[in-house]
Chains A and B, each alone.
Chain A
Protein backbone atom coordinates (compact mmCIF):
# COMPACT_ATOMS: atom_id res chain seq x y z
CA UNK A 1 0.00 0.00 0.00
CA UNK A 2 2.78 2.42 0.87
CA UNK A 3 5.98 2.27 -1.13
CA UNK A 4 8.81 4.68 -0.41
CA UNK A 5 11.86 4.70 -2.64
CA UNK A 6 15.07 6.54 -1.96
CA UNK A 7 13.18 9.36 -0.27
CA UNK A 8 15.33 12.43 0.39
CA UNK A 9 14.60 15.87 1.80
CA UNK A 10 17.04 18.73 2.00
CA UNK A 11 16.32 21.84 4.06
CA UNK A 12 18.93 24.21 2.68
CA UNK A 13 22.00 22.03 2.82
CA UNK A 14 20.76 19.93 5.72
CA UNK A 15 19.72 16.40 4.83
CA UNK A 16 16.71 15.86 7.05
CA UNK A 17 15.83 12.60 5.27
CA UNK A 18 18.54 10.81 3.35
CA UNK A 19 17.64 8.07 0.90
CA UNK A 20 15.00 6.12 2.83
CA UNK A 21 13.29 3.13 1.19
CA UNK A 22 10.69 0.80 2.68
CA UNK A 23 7.20 -0.46 2.04
CA UNK A 24 4.16 -1.26 4.15
CA UNK A 25 1.49 -3.69 3.05
CA UNK A 26 -2.09 -4.11 4.18
CA UNK A 27 -2.17 -5.92 7.51
CA UNK A 28 1.10 -4.43 8.69
CA UNK A 29 1.72 -1.94 11.45
CA UNK A 30 5.08 -0.25 11.04
CA UNK A 31 6.61 1.47 14.06
CA UNK A 32 8.80 4.43 13.27
CA UNK A 33 11.49 5.03 15.85
CA UNK A 34 14.37 7.43 16.09
CA UNK A 35 15.84 10.17 18.25
CA UNK A 36 14.55 13.74 18.13
CA UNK A 37 15.31 15.35 14.80
CA UNK A 38 15.95 12.01 13.08
CA UNK A 39 13.53 12.87 10.27
CA UNK A 40 10.44 10.86 11.25
CA UNK A 41 7.96 13.70 10.90
CA UNK A 42 9.61 14.94 7.72
CA UNK A 43 9.28 11.46 6.19
CA UNK A 44 5.61 11.30 7.18
CA UNK A 45 4.98 14.76 5.73
CA UNK A 46 6.36 13.56 2.42
CA UNK A 47 4.33 10.35 2.51
CA UNK A 48 1.13 12.31 3.10
CA UNK A 49 1.95 14.86 0.42
CA UNK A 50 2.32 17.88 2.69
CA UNK A 51 5.86 18.61 1.52
CA UNK A 52 7.32 17.50 -1.80
CA UNK A 53 10.46 15.33 -1.61
CA UNK A 54 13.76 16.71 -2.88
CA UNK A 55 14.38 13.33 -4.42
CA UNK A 56 12.81 9.88 -4.47
CA UNK A 57 9.27 8.58 -4.79
CA UNK A 58 6.24 7.95 -2.62
CA UNK A 59 3.49 5.67 -3.87
CA UNK A 60 0.27 5.10 -1.97
CA UNK A 61 -2.05 2.42 -3.27
CA UNK A 62 -0.16 2.58 -6.57
CA UNK A 63 -0.67 6.36 -6.99
CA UNK A 64 2.39 8.57 -7.11
CA UNK A 65 2.06 11.27 -4.44
CA UNK A 66 3.69 13.98 -6.56
CA UNK A 67 2.13 13.21 -9.94
CA UNK A 68 -1.28 12.08 -8.82
CA UNK A 69 -1.84 13.42 -5.31
CA UNK A 70 -5.64 13.50 -5.03
CA UNK A 71 -6.39 9.76 -5.38
CA UNK A 72 -3.36 9.00 -3.20
CA UNK A 73 -4.53 11.40 -0.48
CA UNK A 74 -8.02 9.90 -0.57
CA UNK A 75 -6.60 6.64 0.75
CA UNK A 76 -4.75 8.22 3.66
CA UNK A 77 -5.79 9.27 7.13
CA UNK A 78 -3.18 11.48 8.76
CA UNK A 79 -2.57 12.57 12.33
CA UNK A 80 0.14 15.25 12.17
CA UNK A 81 2.58 15.87 15.00
CA UNK A 82 1.06 18.01 17.79
CA UNK A 83 -2.45 17.17 16.56
CA UNK A 84 -3.55 20.45 15.00
CA UNK A 85 -7.30 21.19 14.95
CA UNK A 86 -9.40 24.25 14.15
CA UNK A 87 -9.77 26.04 17.47
CA UNK A 88 -12.68 28.14 16.25
CA UNK A 89 -14.95 25.11 15.83
CA UNK A 90 -16.70 22.61 18.07
CA UNK A 91 -15.54 19.00 18.07
CA UNK A 92 -18.60 17.90 16.12
CA UNK A 93 -18.24 20.80 13.68
CA UNK A 94 -14.62 19.89 13.10
CA UNK A 95 -15.40 16.23 12.50
CA UNK A 96 -18.28 17.25 10.22
CA UNK A 97 -15.85 19.30 8.16
CA UNK A 98 -13.39 16.39 7.97
CA UNK A 99 -16.20 14.11 6.80
CA UNK A 100 -17.41 16.57 4.15
CA UNK A 101 -13.93 17.06 2.76
CA UNK A 102 -13.79 13.28 2.38
CA UNK A 103 -16.94 13.46 0.31
CA UNK A 104 -19.31 12.15 2.99
CA UNK A 105 -22.73 13.82 3.14
CA UNK A 106 -26.04 13.27 4.85
CA UNK A 107 -26.54 9.90 6.49
CA UNK A 108 -23.06 8.62 5.59
CA UNK A 109 -21.52 11.66 7.26
CA UNK A 110 -23.56 11.16 10.43
CA UNK A 111 -22.57 7.51 10.63
CA UNK A 112 -18.90 8.28 10.05
CA UNK A 113 -18.86 10.90 12.80
CA UNK A 114 -20.67 8.58 15.18
CA UNK A 115 -18.19 5.79 14.56
CA UNK A 116 -15.13 8.00 15.00
CA UNK A 117 -16.55 9.58 18.15
CA UNK A 118 -17.17 6.16 19.64
CA UNK A 119 -13.73 4.84 18.78
CA UNK A 120 -12.00 7.87 20.27
CA UNK A 121 -14.32 8.33 23.28
CA UNK A 122 -15.34 11.88 22.43
CA UNK A 123 -19.03 11.78 23.44
CA UNK A 124 -18.47 14.07 26.42
CA UNK A 125 -16.87 16.89 24.48
CA UNK A 126 -18.83 16.69 21.25
CA UNK A 127 -20.26 20.21 21.57
CA UNK A 128 -17.28 21.80 23.26
CA UNK A 129 -15.07 24.25 21.40
CA UNK A 130 -11.76 22.74 20.31
CA UNK A 131 -10.03 25.74 21.85
CA UNK A 132 -11.01 24.76 25.39
CA UNK A 133 -10.21 21.04 25.09
CA UNK A 134 -7.48 19.51 27.21
CA UNK A 135 -4.39 18.38 25.36
CA UNK A 136 -5.35 14.70 25.39
CA UNK A 137 -8.87 15.39 24.14
CA UNK A 138 -7.54 17.60 21.40
CA UNK A 139 -5.22 14.80 20.39
CA UNK A 140 -8.10 12.36 20.31
CA UNK A 141 -10.18 14.79 18.25
CA UNK A 142 -7.46 15.02 15.64
CA UNK A 143 -7.08 11.25 15.74
CA UNK A 144 -10.82 10.89 15.15
CA UNK A 145 -10.45 13.16 12.13
CA UNK A 146 -7.82 10.81 10.67
CA UNK A 147 -10.04 7.71 10.84
CA UNK A 148 -13.33 9.36 9.91
CA UNK A 149 -13.36 7.94 6.37
CA UNK A 150 -12.10 4.50 7.44
CA UNK A 151 -8.96 4.89 5.29
CA UNK A 152 -6.84 2.04 3.94
CA UNK A 153 -3.66 3.80 4.99
CA UNK A 154 -3.05 5.50 8.32
CA UNK A 155 -0.08 7.73 9.03
CA UNK A 156 0.09 8.66 12.70
CA UNK A 157 2.80 10.95 14.06
CA UNK A 158 3.10 10.17 17.78
CA UNK A 159 -0.52 9.09 18.25
CA UNK A 160 -0.20 8.47 21.98
CA UNK A 161 1.53 11.73 22.82
CA UNK A 162 -0.25 13.50 25.66
CA UNK A 163 -2.72 10.69 26.40
CA UNK A 164 -3.31 9.29 29.87
CA UNK A 165 -2.22 5.68 30.52
CA UNK A 166 -5.70 4.27 29.91
CA UNK A 167 -6.06 6.12 26.66
CA UNK A 168 -2.56 5.12 25.58
CA UNK A 169 -3.60 1.52 26.15
CA UNK A 170 -6.83 2.03 24.19
CA UNK A 171 -5.10 3.68 21.27
CA UNK A 172 -2.45 0.96 21.05
CA UNK A 173 -5.17 -1.65 20.99
CA UNK A 174 -7.06 0.34 18.38
CA UNK A 175 -3.98 0.61 16.16
CA UNK A 176 -3.31 -3.07 16.49
CA UNK A 177 -6.91 -4.00 15.62
CA UNK A 178 -7.12 -1.58 12.70
CA UNK A 179 -3.75 -2.84 11.49
CA UNK A 180 -5.31 -6.16 10.58
CA UNK A 181 -7.09 -4.55 7.65
CA UNK A 182 -5.06 -1.43 6.95
CA UNK A 183 -1.50 -0.37 6.33
CA UNK A 184 -0.39 1.75 9.27
CA UNK A 185 2.75 3.74 9.98
CA UNK A 186 3.13 5.34 13.36
CA UNK A 187 6.00 7.06 15.08
CA UNK A 188 6.64 6.89 18.78
CA UNK A 189 9.22 7.45 21.48
CA UNK A 190 7.70 4.81 23.72
CA UNK A 191 9.40 1.51 23.04
CA UNK A 192 6.74 -0.61 24.75
CA UNK A 193 4.39 0.46 21.98
CA UNK A 194 6.56 -1.33 19.49
CA UNK A 195 5.81 -4.59 21.29
CA UNK A 196 2.21 -3.70 21.94
CA UNK A 197 1.19 -2.73 18.43
CA UNK A 198 3.81 -3.17 15.71
CA UNK A 199 4.38 -6.04 13.36
CA UNK A 200 7.59 -4.36 12.20
CA UNK A 201 9.75 -1.45 13.28
CA UNK A 202 12.20 0.87 11.59
CA UNK A 203 14.75 2.90 13.46
CA UNK A 204 16.01 6.00 11.68
CA UNK A 205 18.84 8.23 12.72
CA UNK A 206 20.06 11.41 11.04
CA UNK A 207 17.79 10.73 8.08
CA UNK A 208 18.90 7.16 7.42
CA UNK A 209 17.37 3.80 8.25
CA UNK A 210 19.68 2.10 10.75
CA UNK A 211 17.52 -0.90 11.63
CA UNK A 212 14.48 -2.58 10.11
CA UNK A 213 12.81 -5.74 11.35
CA UNK A 214 10.23 -7.35 13.60
CA UNK A 215 10.47 -6.41 17.28
CA UNK A 216 12.03 -9.86 17.95
CA UNK A 217 14.64 -9.38 15.25
CA UNK A 218 15.55 -5.97 16.60
CA UNK A 219 15.87 -7.35 20.08
CA UNK A 220 18.37 -9.93 18.85
CA UNK A 221 20.69 -7.08 17.95
CA UNK A 222 20.94 -6.35 21.63
CA UNK A 223 24.00 -7.42 23.55
CA UNK A 224 21.46 -8.67 26.05
CA UNK A 225 19.90 -11.10 23.62
CA UNK A 226 20.74 -14.55 24.99
CA UNK A 227 22.56 -13.20 28.03
CA UNK A 228 21.99 -15.01 31.29
CA UNK A 229 21.24 -13.42 34.62
CA UNK A 230 22.33 -15.58 37.53
CA UNK A 231 21.77 -15.11 41.25
CA UNK A 232 23.64 -17.36 43.68
CA UNK A 233 23.92 -17.45 47.46
CA UNK A 234 26.98 -17.88 49.64
CA UNK A 235 29.75 -17.25 47.09
CA UNK A 236 31.86 -14.11 46.64
CA UNK A 237 31.31 -12.04 43.49
CA UNK A 238 34.97 -12.28 42.43
CA UNK A 239 34.90 -16.06 42.70
CA UNK A 240 31.70 -16.27 40.63
CA UNK A 241 33.02 -14.15 37.80
CA UNK A 242 36.45 -15.82 37.66
CA UNK A 243 34.78 -19.22 37.45
CA UNK A 244 32.38 -18.10 34.72
CA UNK A 245 35.15 -16.54 32.65
CA UNK A 246 36.56 -20.03 32.24
CA UNK A 247 33.45 -21.09 30.28
CA UNK A 248 34.57 -20.96 26.61
CA UNK A 249 31.37 -19.32 25.28
CA UNK A 250 31.43 -16.45 27.76
CA UNK A 251 32.38 -13.04 26.48
CA UNK A 252 31.93 -10.93 29.59
CA UNK A 253 30.62 -11.14 33.14
CA UNK A 254 29.26 -8.17 35.07
CA UNK A 255 28.47 -8.19 38.73
CA UNK A 256 25.14 -6.41 39.00
CA UNK A 257 24.69 -6.56 42.74
CA UNK A 258 26.37 -8.10 45.77
CA UNK A 259 24.33 -7.90 48.93
CA UNK A 260 23.31 -10.02 51.96
CA UNK A 261 25.56 -12.87 50.82
CA UNK A 262 23.84 -13.01 47.43
CA UNK A 263 25.52 -12.21 44.12
CA UNK A 264 23.70 -11.28 40.93
CA UNK A 265 25.72 -11.41 37.73
CA UNK A 266 24.95 -10.91 34.06
CA UNK A 267 26.80 -13.25 31.72
CA UNK A 268 27.10 -12.26 28.07
CA UNK A 269 27.82 -14.80 25.32
CA UNK A 270 30.38 -14.26 22.55
CA UNK A 271 28.57 -12.54 19.64
CA UNK A 272 28.61 -15.70 17.48
CA UNK A 273 26.86 -17.67 20.24
CA UNK A 274 24.01 -15.24 20.76
CA UNK A 275 21.58 -17.33 18.71
CA UNK A 276 22.18 -20.63 20.49
CA UNK A 277 21.16 -19.33 23.87
CA UNK A 278 19.83 -22.62 25.18
CA UNK A 279 23.29 -24.08 24.94
CA UNK A 280 24.88 -21.04 26.46
CA UNK A 281 22.51 -21.05 29.42
CA UNK A 282 23.26 -24.75 29.97
CA UNK A 283 26.99 -24.04 29.93
CA UNK A 284 26.54 -21.29 32.52
CA UNK A 285 24.36 -23.58 34.59
CA UNK A 286 27.02 -26.30 34.55
CA UNK A 287 29.71 -23.84 35.62
CA UNK A 288 27.50 -22.81 38.52
CA UNK A 289 27.14 -26.42 39.63
CA UNK A 290 27.58 -26.76 43.35
CA UNK A 291 26.57 -23.16 44.13
CA UNK A 292 23.21 -22.38 45.66
CA UNK A 293 21.36 -21.01 42.59
CA UNK A 294 18.40 -18.77 43.42
CA UNK A 295 17.70 -17.59 39.89
CA UNK A 296 18.86 -18.34 36.36
CA UNK A 297 17.18 -16.39 33.63
CA UNK A 298 17.72 -16.08 29.89
CA UNK A 299 17.37 -12.49 28.68
CA UNK A 300 15.38 -11.74 25.53
CA UNK A 301 17.22 -8.60 24.63
CA UNK A 302 16.14 -5.08 25.41
CA UNK A 303 14.76 -2.69 22.82
CA UNK A 304 15.85 0.41 24.69
CA UNK A 305 19.39 -0.84 24.74
CA UNK A 306 19.26 -1.67 21.01
CA UNK A 307 17.86 1.78 20.36
CA UNK A 308 20.60 3.43 22.36
CA UNK A 309 23.46 1.42 20.92
CA UNK A 310 22.26 2.03 17.35
CA UNK A 311 21.50 5.72 17.61
CA UNK A 312 24.24 6.72 20.05
CA UNK A 313 27.10 4.28 19.40
CA UNK A 314 29.69 6.37 21.27
CA UNK A 315 27.75 6.79 24.45
CA UNK A 316 26.68 3.17 24.48
CA UNK A 317 30.36 2.25 24.63
CA UNK A 318 30.78 4.55 27.60
CA UNK A 319 27.97 2.84 29.42
CA UNK A 320 29.55 -0.57 28.89
CA UNK A 321 32.85 0.52 30.37
Chain B
Protein backbone atom coordinates (compact mmCIF):
# COMPACT_ATOMS: atom_id res chain seq x y z
CA UNK B 1 0.00 0.00 0.00
CA UNK B 2 2.79 2.40 0.88
CA UNK B 3 4.53 1.67 -2.42
CA UNK B 4 1.26 2.43 -4.21
CA UNK B 5 1.13 5.79 -2.50
CA UNK B 6 4.84 6.37 -3.10
CA UNK B 7 4.48 5.63 -6.79
CA UNK B 8 1.47 7.90 -7.23
CA UNK B 9 3.34 10.61 -5.38
CA UNK B 10 6.46 10.23 -7.54
CA UNK B 11 4.40 10.45 -10.74
CA UNK B 12 2.46 13.45 -9.47
CA UNK B 13 5.62 15.23 -8.41
CA UNK B 14 7.19 14.68 -11.82
CA UNK B 15 4.10 15.98 -13.53
CA UNK B 16 4.02 19.15 -11.45
CA UNK B 17 7.76 19.79 -11.85
CA UNK B 18 7.42 19.43 -15.60
CA UNK B 19 4.39 21.67 -15.63
CA UNK B 20 5.95 24.51 -13.68
CA UNK B 21 9.16 24.28 -15.71
CA UNK B 22 7.31 25.75 -18.68
CA UNK B 23 5.51 29.10 -18.76
CA UNK B 24 2.22 27.35 -19.55
CA UNK B 25 1.37 26.96 -15.87
CA UNK B 26 1.80 30.65 -15.10
CA UNK B 27 0.02 31.77 -18.25
CA UNK B 28 -2.85 29.50 -17.34
CA UNK B 29 -3.22 30.91 -13.84
CA UNK B 30 -3.08 34.49 -15.08
CA UNK B 31 -5.69 33.86 -17.78
CA UNK B 32 -7.97 32.07 -15.35
CA UNK B 33 -7.78 34.89 -12.81
CA UNK B 34 -8.27 37.60 -15.46
CA UNK B 35 -11.30 35.80 -16.87
CA UNK B 36 -12.78 35.33 -13.41
CA UNK B 37 -12.27 38.98 -12.57
CA UNK B 38 -13.58 40.32 -15.85
CA UNK B 39 -16.65 38.14 -16.03
CA UNK B 40 -17.59 38.56 -12.40
CA UNK B 41 -17.35 42.31 -12.26
CA UNK B 42 -18.06 43.36 -15.87
CA UNK B 43 -20.54 40.84 -17.22
CA UNK B 44 -21.80 38.96 -14.20
CA UNK B 45 -23.39 42.07 -12.76
CA UNK B 46 -21.66 41.61 -9.42
CA UNK B 47 -22.43 45.16 -8.29
CA UNK B 48 -25.80 45.49 -9.98
CA UNK B 49 -27.10 42.46 -8.12
CA UNK B 50 -26.61 44.45 -4.96
CA UNK B 51 -26.46 41.33 -2.86
CA UNK B 52 -23.60 39.80 -0.93
CA UNK B 53 -23.05 36.55 -2.83
CA UNK B 54 -20.58 35.04 -5.28
CA UNK B 55 -23.25 33.84 -7.71
CA UNK B 56 -21.91 36.25 -10.35
CA UNK B 57 -18.50 34.66 -9.91
CA UNK B 58 -19.40 30.98 -9.87
CA UNK B 59 -21.97 31.08 -12.68
CA UNK B 60 -19.18 31.30 -15.25
CA UNK B 61 -17.13 28.39 -13.99
CA UNK B 62 -18.75 25.65 -16.10
CA UNK B 63 -17.93 27.78 -19.17
CA UNK B 64 -14.36 28.77 -18.24
CA UNK B 65 -13.51 25.20 -17.41
CA UNK B 66 -14.85 24.10 -20.77
CA UNK B 67 -11.74 25.54 -22.42
CA UNK B 68 -9.22 25.88 -19.63
CA UNK B 69 -9.36 22.38 -18.17
CA UNK B 70 -8.87 20.55 -21.49
CA UNK B 71 -5.90 22.88 -22.07
CA UNK B 72 -4.34 21.50 -18.88
CA UNK B 73 -5.29 17.88 -19.49
CA UNK B 74 -4.59 17.55 -23.20
CA UNK B 75 -0.88 16.92 -22.80
CA UNK B 76 -1.10 14.32 -20.02
CA UNK B 77 -0.84 11.24 -22.24
CA UNK B 78 -0.52 12.57 -25.77
CA UNK B 79 2.82 14.13 -24.90
CA UNK B 80 4.06 10.87 -23.34
CA UNK B 81 3.18 9.05 -26.53
CA UNK B 82 4.62 11.68 -28.85
CA UNK B 83 7.93 11.80 -26.98
CA UNK B 84 8.06 8.04 -26.46
CA UNK B 85 8.48 8.48 -22.69
CA UNK B 86 5.39 6.31 -22.23
CA UNK B 87 7.71 3.39 -22.98
CA UNK B 88 9.82 4.35 -19.96
CA UNK B 89 6.84 5.03 -17.75
CA UNK B 90 5.00 1.78 -18.44
CA UNK B 91 8.10 -0.41 -18.12
CA UNK B 92 8.78 0.94 -14.65
CA UNK B 93 7.56 -1.13 -11.71
CA UNK B 94 4.24 0.70 -11.38
CA UNK B 95 0.73 -0.21 -12.48
CA UNK B 96 -0.91 1.87 -15.17
CA UNK B 97 -3.62 2.87 -12.65
CA UNK B 98 -0.94 4.41 -10.46
CA UNK B 99 0.40 6.34 -13.43
CA UNK B 100 -3.09 7.52 -14.41
CA UNK B 101 -3.95 8.57 -10.85
CA UNK B 102 -0.61 10.31 -10.32
CA UNK B 103 -1.07 12.39 -13.43
CA UNK B 104 -4.70 13.11 -12.64
CA UNK B 105 -4.05 14.23 -9.06
CA UNK B 106 -1.15 16.43 -10.11
CA UNK B 107 -3.22 18.30 -12.68
CA UNK B 108 -6.18 18.49 -10.35
CA UNK B 109 -3.99 19.94 -7.62
CA UNK B 110 -2.85 22.53 -10.12
CA UNK B 111 -6.45 23.45 -11.01
CA UNK B 112 -7.28 23.70 -7.31
CA UNK B 113 -4.35 26.04 -6.84
CA UNK B 114 -5.71 28.29 -9.60
CA UNK B 115 -9.16 28.13 -7.99
CA UNK B 116 -7.72 28.93 -4.56
CA UNK B 117 -6.03 32.00 -5.99
CA UNK B 118 -9.46 33.52 -6.60
CA UNK B 119 -9.70 34.17 -2.84
CA UNK B 120 -9.58 37.98 -3.27
CA UNK B 121 -13.10 37.80 -4.72
CA UNK B 122 -14.24 36.12 -1.55
CA UNK B 123 -12.51 38.71 0.58
CA UNK B 124 -14.08 41.50 -1.47
CA UNK B 125 -17.60 40.20 -1.00
CA UNK B 126 -17.03 39.78 2.73
CA UNK B 127 -15.69 43.33 2.91
CA UNK B 128 -18.68 44.75 1.06
CA UNK B 129 -21.37 42.82 2.86
CA UNK B 130 -22.09 39.70 4.84
CA UNK B 131 -22.56 36.78 2.46
CA UNK B 132 -23.47 33.23 3.46
CA UNK B 133 -19.98 31.80 3.67
CA UNK B 134 -21.35 28.27 4.01
CA UNK B 135 -22.86 28.54 0.53
CA UNK B 136 -19.58 29.93 -0.83
CA UNK B 137 -17.50 27.07 0.59
CA UNK B 138 -20.03 24.61 -0.73
CA UNK B 139 -19.87 26.15 -4.20
CA UNK B 140 -16.06 26.12 -4.13
CA UNK B 141 -16.32 22.40 -3.42
CA UNK B 142 -18.73 21.94 -6.31
CA UNK B 143 -16.45 23.92 -8.60
CA UNK B 144 -13.48 21.79 -7.57
CA UNK B 145 -15.40 18.59 -8.31
CA UNK B 146 -16.55 19.95 -11.65
CA UNK B 147 -12.97 20.80 -12.59
CA UNK B 148 -11.99 17.24 -11.68
CA UNK B 149 -14.75 15.82 -13.85
CA UNK B 150 -13.70 17.90 -16.87
CA UNK B 151 -10.08 16.97 -16.22
CA UNK B 152 -10.80 13.24 -16.17
CA UNK B 153 -12.42 13.60 -19.59
CA UNK B 154 -9.44 15.54 -20.94
CA UNK B 155 -7.19 12.83 -19.51
CA UNK B 156 -9.19 10.22 -21.41
CA UNK B 157 -9.12 12.04 -24.74
CA UNK B 158 -5.41 12.72 -24.40
CA UNK B 159 -4.82 8.97 -24.14
CA UNK B 160 -6.58 8.53 -27.49
CA UNK B 161 -4.15 10.46 -29.65
CA UNK B 162 -0.59 11.72 -29.76
CA UNK B 163 -1.88 15.01 -31.11
CA UNK B 164 -2.61 17.51 -28.35
CA UNK B 165 -4.85 19.68 -30.50
CA UNK B 166 -7.10 16.75 -31.35
CA UNK B 167 -7.19 15.75 -27.68
CA UNK B 168 -8.18 19.31 -26.77
CA UNK B 169 -10.98 19.58 -29.32
CA UNK B 170 -12.48 16.19 -28.55
CA UNK B 171 -12.54 16.87 -24.83
CA UNK B 172 -14.08 20.33 -25.32
CA UNK B 173 -16.84 18.72 -27.37
CA UNK B 174 -17.52 16.02 -24.77
CA UNK B 175 -17.53 18.55 -21.93
CA UNK B 176 -19.80 20.82 -23.95
CA UNK B 177 -22.33 18.01 -24.31
CA UNK B 178 -22.16 17.45 -20.55
CA UNK B 179 -22.81 21.14 -19.92
CA UNK B 180 -25.58 21.68 -22.47
CA UNK B 181 -27.71 18.84 -21.12
CA UNK B 182 -28.51 21.02 -18.13
CA UNK B 183 -29.31 24.22 -20.02
CA UNK B 184 -33.06 25.13 -19.79
CA UNK B 185 -33.35 25.48 -23.59
CA UNK B 186 -32.49 21.81 -24.03
CA UNK B 187 -35.19 20.75 -21.60
CA UNK B 188 -37.71 22.97 -23.42
CA UNK B 189 -36.69 21.38 -26.71
CA UNK B 190 -37.25 17.82 -25.49
CA UNK B 191 -40.57 18.81 -23.91
CA UNK B 192 -41.66 20.32 -27.22
CA UNK B 193 -40.95 17.12 -29.16
CA UNK B 194 -42.79 15.07 -26.56
CA UNK B 195 -39.72 13.27 -25.22
CA UNK B 196 -39.53 14.78 -21.74
CA UNK B 197 -37.77 11.70 -20.32
CA UNK B 198 -34.83 12.34 -22.68
CA UNK B 199 -34.69 15.89 -21.40
CA UNK B 200 -34.59 14.66 -17.80
CA UNK B 201 -31.93 12.15 -18.67
CA UNK B 202 -29.79 14.82 -20.35
CA UNK B 203 -30.26 17.09 -17.34
CA UNK B 204 -29.42 14.28 -14.96
CA UNK B 205 -26.21 13.59 -16.84
CA UNK B 206 -25.22 17.23 -16.97
CA UNK B 207 -22.57 18.78 -14.76
CA UNK B 208 -24.69 21.99 -14.73
CA UNK B 209 -27.54 20.33 -12.87
CA UNK B 210 -25.26 18.90 -10.24
CA UNK B 211 -23.23 22.08 -9.89
CA UNK B 212 -26.47 24.02 -9.36
CA UNK B 213 -27.16 22.09 -6.19
CA UNK B 214 -23.82 23.15 -4.75
CA UNK B 215 -24.55 26.77 -5.72
CA UNK B 216 -27.70 26.60 -3.64
CA UNK B 217 -25.57 25.52 -0.70
CA UNK B 218 -26.72 21.90 -0.74
CA UNK B 219 -24.26 19.04 -0.55
CA UNK B 220 -26.31 16.13 -1.80
CA UNK B 221 -24.87 12.65 -1.67
CA UNK B 222 -26.15 12.00 -5.21
CA UNK B 223 -24.19 14.94 -6.60
CA UNK B 224 -21.02 13.67 -4.98
CA UNK B 225 -21.70 10.21 -6.44
CA UNK B 226 -22.32 11.78 -9.85
CA UNK B 227 -18.97 13.58 -9.99
CA UNK B 228 -17.17 10.67 -8.37
CA UNK B 229 -18.48 8.13 -10.84
CA UNK B 230 -17.90 10.42 -13.83
CA UNK B 231 -14.24 10.79 -12.80
CA UNK B 232 -13.94 7.07 -12.06
CA UNK B 233 -15.45 6.07 -15.39
CA UNK B 234 -13.30 8.45 -17.44
CA UNK B 235 -10.09 7.35 -15.71
CA UNK B 236 -11.01 3.70 -16.10
CA UNK B 237 -11.58 4.29 -19.82
CA UNK B 238 -8.18 5.98 -19.96
CA UNK B 239 -6.65 2.73 -18.71
CA UNK B 240 -8.54 0.69 -21.29
CA UNK B 241 -7.42 3.00 -24.11
CA UNK B 242 -3.78 2.87 -23.00
CA UNK B 243 -3.89 -0.92 -22.88
CA UNK B 244 -5.47 -1.15 -26.34
CA UNK B 245 -2.63 0.92 -27.86
CA UNK B 246 -0.02 -1.41 -26.48
CA UNK B 247 -1.80 -4.53 -27.65
CA UNK B 248 -1.40 -3.15 -31.20
Q: Is A93 a contact of B17 with CB atoms below 8 Å?
A: yes
Contact of B130 with A by CB under 8 A:
no
Contact of A145 with B by CB under 8 A:
yes
A84 cross-chain contacts in B, Cβ below 8 A = 83-85, 87-88
A215 cross-chain contacts in B, Cβ below 8 A = none
Contact of B14 with A by CB under 8 A:
yes
Pick from A11, A73, A98, A100: contact of B248, CB under 8 Å? A11
Contact of A115 with B by CB under 8 A:
no
A88 vs B24: C-alpha distance in the bound complex, in angstroms? 11
Contact with A along B228-248 (1 / 0, CB 8 A): 000000000000000000111
Q: Is B13 a contact of A89 with CB atoms below 8 Å?
A: no
- How far does the Cβ of B10 sit from chain A's closest Cβ, in whole Å? 4
Give the total number of A-B pairs whose CB atoms are below 8 A apart. Answer: 79
Contact of B92 with A by CB under 8 A:
yes
A224 cross-chain contacts in B, Cβ below 8 A = none
A230 vs B163: C-alpha distance in the bound complex, in angstroms? 62
- How far does the Cβ of B188 sit from chain A's closest Cβ, in whole Å? 47
Contact of B194 with A by CB under 8 A:
no
- B-side binding surface: helix, strand, loop or mixed? helix
Q: Is B90 a contact of A50 with CB atoms below 8 Å?
A: yes
Contact of B7 with A by CB under 8 A:
yes
Contact of B134 with A by CB under 8 A:
no
Interface size on A, residues (CB 8 A): 34
Q: Is A97 a contact of B85 with CB atoms below 8 Å?
A: no
A214 vs B92: C-alpha distance in the bound complex, in angstroms? 31
- How far does the Cβ of A186 sit from chain B's closest Cβ, in whole Å? 16
Interface size on B, residues (CB 8 A): 26
**In chain A, what residue has the closest Cβ to B21?**
A88
Pick from A45, A50, A76, A97: contact of B10, CB under 8 Å? A97
**In chain A, what residue has the closest Cβ to B89?**
A101
Interface residues of B in 79-109 (CB under 8 A from A): 83-85, 87-88, 90-95
**In chain A, what residue has the closest Cβ to B19?**
A88
Contact of B6 with A by CB under 8 A:
yes
Contact with A along B1-35 (1 / 0, CB 8 A): 00100110011011001110110000000000000
Pick from B13, B17, B21, B84: contact of A82, CB under 8 Å? B84
Q: Is B92 a contact of A45 with CB atoms below 8 Å?
A: no
Q: Is A48 a contact of B91 with CB atoms below 8 Å?
A: yes
Contact of A70 with B by CB under 8 A:
yes
- How far does the Cβ of B233 sit from chain A's closest Cβ, in whole Å? 24
Q: Is B18 a contact of A88 with CB atoms below 8 Å?
A: yes
* Top 6 A-B pairs, shortest CB-CB distance: A84-B84, A88-B18, A100-B10, A73-B93, A74-B93, A48-B91
The interface of chain B, by Cβ under 8 A from chain A, is: 3, 6-7, 10-11, 13-14, 17-19, 21-22, 83-85, 87-88, 90-95, 246-248
Q: Can you give 14 A-B contacts (C-beta < 8 A)?
A: A70-B93, A76-B91, A80-B84, A80-B88, A88-B17, A89-B14, A89-B18, A90-B21, A93-B17, A97-B10, A101-B7, A101-B10, A101-B92, A105-B6
